[in-house]
Amino acid sequence: MAADSHFPRAPLVVLAAVIEREGRLLVTQRLQDTHLADYWEFPGGKCEPGETHEACLARELREELDAGADIGPEILATEYAYPERTVRLHFRR
């Protein structure tokens, strides 16, 4: 059954890495032809079904930056409802 206003879909879980060095934060610019194109964001991405937050963020950092990382504690979790989807965003060090 397709989701509609009577049966909203579960929020999309997204992880974001807050990487700080010498007072500077690492951010990336979203690609053209994507949701929120050209906006700036922390690196990260969507959590796959059954994937832990730590595994998701480690995978995304390997895919996006070709970098390994020690995934730290959660800093903040927030949820935002866009017209087309709801996103639950977890920021981690």
Pairing of β 86-92 and β 12-17:
parallel
5 part of a folded domain: no
- Give residue 62's domain range: 20-92
pLDDT number for residue 1: 46
CATH for 88: 3.90.79.10
9 part of a folded domain: no
pLDDT number for residue 73: 96
Q: What is the pTM of this model?
A: 0.82
Alpha helix positions (H), the chain: 53-65
8 part of a folded domain: no
pLDDT number for residue 8: 67
* Domains in the chain, number: 1
4 part of a folded domain: no
What residues of the chain score a pLDDT lower than 70? 1-8
